[in-house]
């Protein structure tokens, strides 16, 4: 199997061109980093692949679909296949950017999640453009022409699209379209709490699942009849009961083990949940009859 790939290095830019790929779903075509001179321009011309530029300094302009867009640092712009485009650097403050070109059967679907399109070819980044440049530089450093390196380069391409999608989602208000059934997200949240109850907050759960707090609360409550906070407390108290039953650890040690820095807060939550303090819960385990006798004697005195 022949690999066709080349690295171009000049005074003001470095790029990689690749014409062999592992899968038709998504594949890298070329990428690079360029510090453009004042007279730099590209086009007008059409491309056969999708090209995304990440501007990390300077300014420029993009002409596409009879519209002109001003380009600034911390923005990305898209060159779609089959669409004539022309872009050029500002004469006084020419831009510098990193770019990545790709194609594949699933490329349009993946790109649709980023918010970039021929109709909306420019977006503000909520993740620093230098982060995208760093990933593209990692591709440029992976020059070996073998399958292992191509997997790595393709992995960086997925990473870049993932960061771009995450950047777009941070700007959106409301709930994004669901890729999976609602129950799947609720189950995902539950599993995350089950495994990490001792060192997370509800905000961590929301960020991990990737839905809005209000929507995740709604679908979780529908499935498990508890709020996220309620289930997190349940997991902690259930674990505390096991530790009280099976170990001689102090109340303070147990509270810290299940995620409470303050043992007083833990005791209040425990009593609210089970109607008795951790201390009395443990006492009842060691001598439940004595506790019952105390209750009976108190009732008789009344």
Map out the domains of the chain as residue ranges: 5-171, 182-293
Residue 287 in this model has a pLDDT that exceeds 70: no
Q: What is the pLDDT of residues 194-220, one digit of tens each?
A: 999 999 999 999 988 888 888 899 999
Residue range 106-130: mean pLDDT, rounded: 90
Give the pLDDT score at 43: 87
Give the pLDDT score at 19: 61
Which has more confidence, 127 or 276? 276
* Cα 102 off chain centre by: 21
Residue range 111-119: mean pLDDT, rounded: 88
- First-to-final CA distance of the chain: 92
Q: What is the pLDDT of residues 228-250, one digit of tens each?
A: 999 999 999 999 999 999 999 99
d(CA 290, CA 295): 9
User: What phi and psi values does residue 170 have, to the nearest 5 degrees?
Assistant: -65, -25
- Can you name the CATH fold of 182-293? Arc Repressor Mutant, subunit A (1.10.10)
Give the pLDDT score at 23: 77
Residue 96 in this model has a pLDDT that exceeds 80: yes
Give the pLDDT score at 16: 73
Mean residue pLDDT of the chain comes to: 85
Whole-prediction pTM? 0.58
How does residue 143 score in pLDDT terms, banded at 50, 70 and 90? Answer: confident
Share of the chain above pLDDT 90, in %: 62
How does residue 72 score in pLDDT terms, banded at 50, 70 and 90? Answer: very high
Residue range 277-301: mean pLDDT, rounded: 62
Give the pLDDT score at 177: 59
User: What phi and psi values does residue 260 have, to the nearest 5 degrees?
Assistant: -105, 120
Task: Lowest mean pLDDT of 1-15, 21-35, 148-162, 265-279, name the range.
Answer: 1-15
Which has more confidence, 84 or 7? 84
Give the pLDDT score at 7: 53
How does residue 182 score in pLDDT terms, banded at 50, 70 and 90? Answer: confident
Which has more confidence, 293 or 105? 105
Pair of tokens at residue 175: 């709930």
CATH homologous superfamily for 5-171?
Regulatory protein AraC (2.60.120.280)
Give the pLDDT score at 36: 93
Give the pLDDT score at 2: 36
Topology match between the domains 5-171 and 182-293: no
Q: Is 134 exposed, middle or buried (0-12, 13-18, 19+ CB in 10 A)?
A: middle
Which has more confidence, 178 or 148? 148
Distances (CA, A) of 45 to 42, 63, 87, 111, 192: 8, 11, 10, 21, 49
Share of the chain above pLDDT 70, in %: 84
How does residue 299 score in pLDDT terms, banded at 50, 70 and 90? Answer: very low
How does residue 298 score in pLDDT terms, banded at 50, 70 and 90? Answer: very low
Q: Is 5 helix (H, G, I), strand (E, B) or coil?
A: strand
């Amino acid at each position: 199997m022949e690999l066709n790939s080349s690295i171009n290095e000049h005074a003001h830019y470095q790029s990689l061109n690749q014409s062999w790929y592992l899968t038709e779903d998504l594949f890298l075509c070329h990428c690079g980093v360029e510090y453009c001179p004042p007279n730099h321009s590209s086009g007008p011309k059409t491309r056969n692949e999708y090209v995304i530029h990440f501007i990390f300094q300077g300014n420029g302009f993009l002409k596409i679909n009879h519209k002109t867009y001003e380009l600034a640092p911390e923005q990305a712009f898209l060159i779609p296949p089959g669409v004539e485009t022309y872009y050029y650097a500002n004469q006084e403050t020419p831009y510098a950017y990193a770019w990545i070109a790709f194609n594949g059967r699933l490329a349009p679907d993946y790109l649709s999640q980023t918010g970039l399109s021929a109709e909306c070819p420019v977006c503000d980044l909520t993740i620093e453009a230098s982060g995208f440049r760093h990933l593209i530089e990692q591709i440029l450093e992976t020059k070996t022409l073998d399958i292992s390196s191509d997997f790595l380069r393709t992995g960086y391409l997925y990473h870049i699209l993932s960061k771009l999608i995450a950047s777009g989602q941070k700007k959106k208000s409301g709930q994004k379209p669901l890729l999976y059934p609602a129950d799947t997200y609720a189950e995902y949240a539950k599993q995350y709490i089950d495994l990490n109850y001792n060192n997370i907050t509800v905000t961590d759960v929301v960020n991990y699942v990737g839905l809005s707090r209000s929507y995740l609360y709604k679908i979780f409550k529908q499935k498990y009849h508890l709020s996220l906070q309620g289930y997190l407390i349940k997991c902690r108290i259930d674990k505390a009961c096991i530790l009280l039953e099976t170990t001689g650890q102090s109340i303070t040690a147990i509270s810290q083990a299940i995620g409470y820095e303050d043992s007083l807060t833990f005791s209040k939550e425990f009593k609210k949940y089970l109607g008795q303090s951790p201390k009395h819960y443990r006492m009842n385990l060691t001598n439940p009859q004595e506790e019952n006798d105390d209750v009976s004697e108190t009732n008789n005195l009344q």
